[in-house]
Amino acid sequence: MNYNIDNEYFINVNSFKKSYNLTNIILNASECYSKMRFWNRCVLASANGYLELTIPLQNGRNQRCELGQVKMVEDGAWRRQHLRAMETCYARSPFWEHYAPELKVLFEVDEVSLFRFNTHILEWLMKKTKCNAKLAVTEGLDRNATEKAELGAESEKLRPNNYKLVEGTKPYIQVFSEKNGFLKNVSTLDLLMNLGPQAANYLAG
């Protein structure tokens, strides 16, 4: 079975879990960019609760173009800020020291395309969680009406303005669980930092 997902910045656990056991994961580069998606945003679990990170874009968040044409701001400041935020959130997690060097390499990739940058990150997450699905990029998607309805309804659920309200996946131990309780619908990075190799079992289950 094929599954078309949003090419999110450090994809959220909910979306990744839904596609983890499938044969093919499809990313659509020709989809029209919209500011109310997680394409240039991700959510971490911090000491103070949900922490939202946003990649600044060269033509701002209101641009009208295909996702594959969206470019990130080339200034390295936001990359350093995001990496520092991730270290602040996960330095006390069981697997920060294990994954941090590779995470830093991801942020050093000489890439300005948001779509390709997110694809690099997704490939890394798939590798680290032993996801066997094949990743494919398309510039157009030919699906029957039923598939479109099902996938469309699924993709409409999780948005930057409602992710705290949408039902999430089953709880797991997070760094600040004792203080904040379980924070749902955060980035898969959170799952990886807390569960490490066992993230594969969580996603597959």
pLDDT per residue as tens digits for the range 95-105: 999 999 999 99
Whole-number pLDDT of residue 156 = 52
Q: Is the pLDDT of residue 39 over 90?
A: yes
Q: How confident is the model at residue 149 (pLDDT cuts 50, 70, 90)?
A: very low
Task: Give pLDDT, residue 150.
Answer: 44
The answer to whether residue 1 scores a pLDDT higher than 70 is no
How many domains does the chain contain in total?
Answer: 1
- Gyration radius from the chain CA atoms: 16
Is this structure's pTM higher than 0.85?
yes
Under the banding of pLDDT at 50, 70 and 90, the label for residue 197 is very high
- Asked whether residue 122 carries a pLDDT value surpassing 50, the answer given is yes
Task: List all residues 6 or more positions away from 139 whose beta carbon is below 8 Å from its beta carbon.
Answer: 28, 29, 30, 68
Range 162-180 average pLDDT = 90
Question: Of 190, 153, 172, which Cα lies nearest the Cα of 52?
Answer: 190
Q: Which string of b and e fits 144-169 if b means at least 16 CB within 10 Å?
A: eeeeeeebeebeeebeeeebeeeebb
Q: Give 72-80 contacts, CB < 8 A, sequence gap 24+.
A: 72/40, 72/111, 72/112, 72/113, 72/114, 72/117, 74/112, 79/107, 79/108, 80/107
Tokens for 78, please give them.
């936001």
> Containing domain of residue 96, as a range?
2-204
